[in-house]
Structure 1
């Protein structure tokens, strides 16, 4: 049983209410007493106690479903290190990223193995996507309605191969790709590679040479060329909007969210034509850091995690370092279908944000909208979990964990929760 915690603010309010009630009793002013008590009840009810919280704890290599008292209602303990993400499905199964044995690419967030654990804690399937130092699945996985999984991959490109792509430095690089797999057959259903969609203004002898700002749908391979370890982009989260067949990716080292057309075939995804947008695998949209393609507009992200598409169609992301050693959770209003216009401000409107002098995680982190409109925040490397109101009031915190990849909220009557027998 975890230690129960109550936010200091609520405790202070309770003490204040007690004082008011005592004063009211002495003055026989029952109206004042009733009003004060109702206000306190309303404040306590604004905590979303109708939700449980799923915590992915990379320090303990486990996942835990907890309530607001910190009680562990259900737990999963893994026999190997967590490769970051966990997905709780409607039938109570958990799809989890784990670290593969003998990994050759070991940047922060590497994984390589995926496992589906059913509600009875036995393994339904397990697949790997790793090959020495040639490629490695990492960070995130999304379980799709068709039973496929989709995840980011690092791919090794040697220094000589990178030079042919117009890379300005002389070292191996590890640009990202996206793979969709049927985990039962291990068939690759769809794939996308950033190396097919590059622009650069370094080497005029290469086919992808061009003016970066004139090609907003392409990726400047040299934007982060000084990254010594070659992990240029560092994808760390993805979300597939299955209704619109659009894929969102948080690109940490470019401080952007990239948007891809998932309606393409794999062949089309390697070109600049085809799909619903007729852009092939080129970016259909991007936002957060227009400097990444020499464009105009406000920079609203500096490092970023988890592209959380919420029910309204807006997106919440965790901006790790936007205020220099201070994080922010940002909500953007999104309006597909998308368009990128060269040299014009393409940034979406920020409609809500939360920051605090005590909120900071240089990596990891998430923000999700709860059933009552509050926002649940995982302060990744600090481990603190926050619940805040729309007005930015901090209602609740949990400090039982040291390193939290993400924290997800589930209604207590959600089918996934009920399938666990809770």
Structure 2
């Protein structure tokens, strides 16, 4: 253990001594999760390793619109921006594209007119369908009939939020197999002659159509920026940036039930099963009880990971004083899986997050951004406004630090040594996949050059713990299916193999080969000892 700690200390010192990077990988330690990070910027989508080297990239003719995922079959699904609609606000999209691993366009979904437009987020369902967010228009007369105060219709109309589950068909067709609309779940206490009249506090499963959260009542009053799905619970989590609240709804309903307050596994139809972040929105508190400020990417932490079943999110902090962002993990109180505790006139719990990370005032992104729990207990954070990715270990130490070297508006690529950008290189979200993710099966994961020009790989080179480089050592094949060979004139005394969690999983003596057949697919660290010198290599097991 002492030797390992000294090794890590050496690495950290090495980073500060040798790494002069201003973009790309700034620093990385052995405690970083050795996965592959996916993100979109301008018209490109990149998959990179911890050294910032590009493992794959995809090209589109559309700017981001915004989220992107790799499917279990290795295809890429990406939201793009198509400016063919008068529905306009930050995060609008209009089109979804599906590419194969080699970048060929397989399918696209165009949903962009003056009456509806895709935006922000999508979610690929386990059944092969896709959940999408679509803003649609509620005309002025209909908004007033729904109980909206006419004084709060400063833009004339309102945007309804529609969730569609679509089934891709052919190359550009789709079937809508399920639908949910926020306009079916409104409450108002403004006008008893209009629809949805009732006591707001008595209806926490519905949305007060006149709650503005201190804003001016523009048509984009909700600004939903995220949609995520929990298969175990069959529940959807959505995030309203403008109302600073997250909502959980039931996906098990029929479309007809989703338009009501009854039916489905949980018996509440399409009404909110749970809400959190701003209890003033349903008359269960005041502005001082608010905990969320323009948050992004709330989602349930998957089973098998640390804090599984809790909700993690990026709390941007936009609109509060002082300005700072946080990563939060909350644990919704439940009486059974997916059944949330609620006491009349008492705000949904918890009263405080289980976990909060902040580094105020330096940590702040007013828009975009994400936080993701990783299999080794680390947390990947994306400060979206400045294209800054960093990974925290369980003690909140930064173990990977990366600056996106591409301008999101122009696509211009920075050179290593250029000033670190403080704007322009924004991105919506970063997702890190395990190297043994099923979508990578049979794919060539050999890394190429980093994105930035004039790149410098010193931060990764220091991951080797040898004081004297054994440059004459060659390890092949890499990736490897069965046996890896070490080509060198040196006498190799011992070989050790470690997994990405730092656990030693194999040892061999007085040999220049090592049998990898029994190991699972993934990335491993090969350490070769020759006298008092040690050489470390990363190898990929197919």
TM tier, smaller: 0.7 to 0.9
| Greater mean alpha carbon deviation, residues 78-87 or residues 122-131 | 122-131
- State the distance in 1 between where 2:188 and 2:49 align: 50
- Among 155, 178, 198, the alignment partner of 1:190 is 178
Contact 1:48 1:371 in 2 (8 A): no
Aligned length: 389
- State the distance in 2 between where 1:320 and 1:354 align: 12
Partner of 2:353: 350
Measure how far apart 1:40 and its partner are.
4.1
Contact 2:32 2:400 in 1 (8 A): no
- State the distance in 2 between where 1:69 and 1:149 align: 32
Partner of 2:449: none
Within a 5 Å distance, the mapping from 1:22-421 to structure 2 comes to: 36-37=6-7, 39-40=9-10, 46-57=30-41, 60-131=42-113, 133-168=114-149, 171-184=156-169, 185-224=173-212, 226-296=215-285, 298-311=289-302, 312-321=308-317, 324-334=322-332, 336-348=338-350, 350-356=353-359, 357-401=361-405, 402-421=425-444
Query: Which of structures 1 and 2 has the bigger CA Rg?
Result: 2
Partner of 1:11: none
Measure how far apart 1:38 and its partner are.
5.9
Measure how far apart 1:244 and its partner are.
1.6
Contact 1:304 1:320 in 2 (8 A): yes
Measure how far apart 1:327 and its partner are.
0.7
Partner of 1:10: none
Measure how far apart 1:285 and its partner are.
0.7
- State the distance in 1 between where 2:190 and 2:386 align: 40
| Greater mean alpha carbon deviation, residues 35-44 or residues 384-393 | 35-44
Measure how far apart 1:32 and its partner are.
9.4
RMSD: 2.3
- State the distance in 2 between where 1:163 and 1:170 align: 13
Contact 1:47 1:387 in 2 (8 A): no
- State the distance in 2 between where 1:38 and 1:327 align: 29
- State the distance in 1 between where 2:111 and 2:432 align: 29
- Give the structure with the larger helix fraction: 1
- State the distance in 2 between where 1:197 and 1:382 align: 36
Measure how far apart 1:354 and its partner are.
0.9
- State the distance in 1 between where 2:203 and 2:181 align: 17
Where structure 2 has 5 or more consecutive residues not aligned to the other structure, the ranges are: 14-27, 303-307, 406-424, 446-542
Q: TM-score w.r.t. structure 2 length?
A: 0.68
Contact 1:284 1:340 in 2 (8 A): no
Contact 1:53 1:408 in 2 (8 A): yes
**Secondary structure, aligned partner of 1:183:** strand
- State the distance in 2 between where 1:289 and 1:236 align: 16
Measure how far apart 1:109 and its partner are.
0.9
Measure how far apart 1:234 and its partner are.
0.9
- State the distance in 1 between where 2:389 and 2:166 align: 32
Structure 1 residues 128 and 339: alpha-carbon distance in aligned structure 2, compared to 1, 3 A threshold: farther
- State the distance in 1 between where 2:276 and 2:56 align: 37
Contact 1:257 1:288 in 2 (8 A): yes
Measure how far apart 1:41 and its partner are.
5.9
- State the distance in 1 between where 2:3 and 2:400 align: 25
Structure 1 residues 40 and 163: alpha-carbon distance in aligned structure 2, compared to 1, 3 A threshold: same
Contact 2:122 2:227 in 1 (8 A): yes
- State the distance in 1 between where 2:168 and 2:129 align: 6
Measure how far apart 1:188 and its partner are.
0.9
Measure how far apart 1:418 and its partner are.
3.8
**Secondary structure, aligned partner of 1:139:** strand
**Secondary structure, aligned partner of 2:385:** coil
**Secondary structure, aligned partner of 2:281:** helix
**Secondary structure, aligned partner of 1:95:** strand
Contact 1:385 1:397 in 2 (8 A): yes
Q: TM-score w.r.t. structure 1 length?
A: 0.86
Contact 2:33 2:378 in 1 (8 A): no
Measure how far apart 1:213 and its partner are.
1.3
Measure how far apart 1:49 and its partner are.
4.4
